[in-house]
């Protein structure tokens, strides 16, 4: 588990539910969030066009209020290395 708070500082959509992320600690990499879209708030994100509408605000956020904890995203990036 990440021992310090991290924040997303840059992100780029890579198509479908894949995204490249950079964190304030210098870690960067790609993740596929398709398997993480469980629950009502994440339903709109199943549409790849809607998914690509994220903004960076310390983490990834979407217009409907959906987001992921930045520490969770950080762990996914590290696990993919």
Rounded to 5 degrees, φ, ψ at 48 are: -55, -30
Distances (CA, A) of 76 to 29, 31, 44, 63, 64: 9, 7, 21, 23, 23
**Using one digit for the tens of pLDDT, what is the confidence trace for 17-75?**
999 999 999 999 999 999 999 999 999 999 999 999 999 999 999 999 999 999 999 99
Reply yes or no on domain 8-79 having CATH 3.40.50.300. no
Which pLDDT band holds residue 2 (cuts at 50, 70, 90)? very low
Q: List CB contacts of 43: < 8 A, sequence separation 6 or more.
A: 37
- pLDDT tops 60 at residue 1: no
pTM of the model: 0.92
In a 3-state reduction of DSSP, which class is residue 58?
strand
**Average pLDDT, integer, range 3-7:** 84
What are the extents of the domains in the chain? Answer: 8-79
| Tokens found for residue 79 | 């696990």
């Amino acid at each position: 588990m990440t021992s310090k708070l991290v924040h997303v500082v840059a992100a780029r959509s890579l198509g479908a539910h894949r995204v490249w992320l950079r964190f304030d600690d210098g870690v960067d990499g790609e993740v596929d969030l398709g398997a993480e879209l469980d629950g009502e708030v994440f339903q709109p994100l199943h549409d790849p066009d809607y998914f690509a509408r994220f903004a960076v605000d310390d983490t990834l956020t979407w217009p409907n209020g959906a987001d992921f904890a930045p520490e969770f995203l950080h762990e996914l990036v590290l696990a993919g290395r």
